[in-house]
């Protein structure tokens, strides 16, 4: 009997160990220390030519895009109000996205402006060659008149991330994009829409590849330079991700807006918190950066490497909240 009991006990212990291994989550790797990662410091101290939306003399304006539950007036207001309540402060930059045919000046646009926020309109213009052929002149003029009608200065990101490879079919080339930019801006000028600060905003990856500068319309055409930067597929310090762009932008007398930035859920709460802390330090180390806007959204259909919402992730959101209450981001 005793001989039989020992193997039975050993078997029970073995099965218990297997069950424990199945239920237990594998240990997570420690979050990398990003707080001491070097940041690429812009050498241009200003002054900067910024157009109608004036850059603060010191510090940076703080803002975000928050995906609403419904793309309605009520939905947009609720999304912004919820984040502002969680942060305990108003957003100074409200990013909003528009298709080519969608006009600026919606009720929510007007409400944000009435509250004192600066509207940053990310406008998805269409095929550059069809623009240059005059096929969309009526639409562009209608948008210019809509912008003029609101009378308040806005930031306009005309076809942001134009350097993305998946947009090449409609962008055609850097030369086509630059020509279309000049064409659209000329129409805005003709329509008296002079309350626009024109924001040129490629991706950090485009500067790392080296092709983004080819889309630049010229210093006489751009009021703010911009970059969208994410810790998505690769987890790198934001200073490293932005370094090629910052080096390029430092040669131009323009303020910088970080049009979108975000750190994906895939990197875990502690990793995300570390990345946000490093972003805060890097933005402050680069005085040419005058505005920032977080991408507070989990786009539908995307996996964890492209989900960036911080709300609901206490450690990451706490780091974001600390950034928002930093006096540097309340100029």
Catalytic residues: 161, 260
Give 166's DSSP letter.
Answer: G
> Which residue has tokens 């402050």?
284
Nearest alpha carbon to residue 246 among 276, 214, 210, 204: 204
Give start and end residues of each alpha helix (H) in the chain. Answer: 2-23, 73-87, 107-114, 128-132, 137-150, 168-171, 174-190, 204-209, 238-249, 268-285, 314-325
Give 235's DSSP letter.
Answer: -
Nearest alpha carbon to residue 108 among 137, 134, 85, 78: 78
Report the C-alpha gap between 331 and 328 in whole angstroms.
6
> Which residue has tokens 């910024």?
50
Enumerate residues 6+ apart whose C-beta is below 8 A from 70.
Answer: none
DSSP 3-state of 120: strand
Q: What angle do CA 60, 63, 65 make, to 5 degrees?
A: 150
């Amino acid at each position: 009997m005793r001989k039989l009991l020992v193997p039975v006990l050993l078997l029970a212990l073995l099965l218990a160990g297997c069950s424990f291994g199945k239920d237990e989550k594998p240990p997570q790797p420690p979050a990398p220390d990003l707080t001491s990662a070097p940041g690429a410091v812009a050498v241009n101290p200003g002054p900067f030519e910024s157009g109608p939306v004036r850059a603060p003399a010191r510090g940076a304006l703080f803002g975000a895009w928050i995906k609403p539950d419904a793309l309605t007036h009520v939905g947009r207001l609720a999304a912004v109000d919820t984040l502002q309540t969680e942060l305990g402060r108003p957003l100074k930059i409200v990013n909003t996205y528009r298709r080519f045919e969608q006009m600026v000046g919606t009720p929510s646009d007007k409400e944000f402006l009435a509250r004192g926020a600066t509207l940053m309109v990310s406008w998805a213009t269409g095929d550059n060659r069809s623009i240059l052929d005059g096929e969309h002149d009526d639409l562009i003029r209608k948008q210019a008149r809509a912008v003029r009608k609101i009378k308040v200065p806005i930031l306009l990101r005309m076809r942001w991330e134009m350097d993305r490879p998946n947009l090449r079919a409609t962008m055609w080339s850097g030369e086509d994009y630059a020509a279309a930019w000049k064409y659209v801006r000329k129409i805005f000028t003709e329509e008296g829409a002079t309350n626009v600060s024109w924001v040129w905003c490629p991706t950090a990856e485009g500067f790392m590849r080296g092709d983004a500068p080819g889309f630049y319309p010229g210093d006489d055409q751009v009021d703010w330079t911009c970059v969208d930067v994410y810790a998505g597929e690769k987890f790198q310090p934001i200073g490293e991700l932005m370094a090629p762009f910052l080096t390029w932008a430092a040669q131009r007398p323009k303020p910088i807006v970080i049009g979108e930035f975000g750190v994906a859920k895939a990197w875990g709460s502690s990793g995300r918190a570390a990345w946000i802390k490093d972003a805060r330090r890097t933005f402050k180390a680069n005085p040419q950066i005058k505005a920032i806007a977080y991408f507070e959204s989990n786009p539908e259909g995307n996996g964890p490497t492209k989900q960036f919402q911080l709300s609901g992730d206490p450690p990451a959101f706490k780091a974001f909240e600390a950034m928002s209450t930093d006096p540097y981001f309340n100029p």
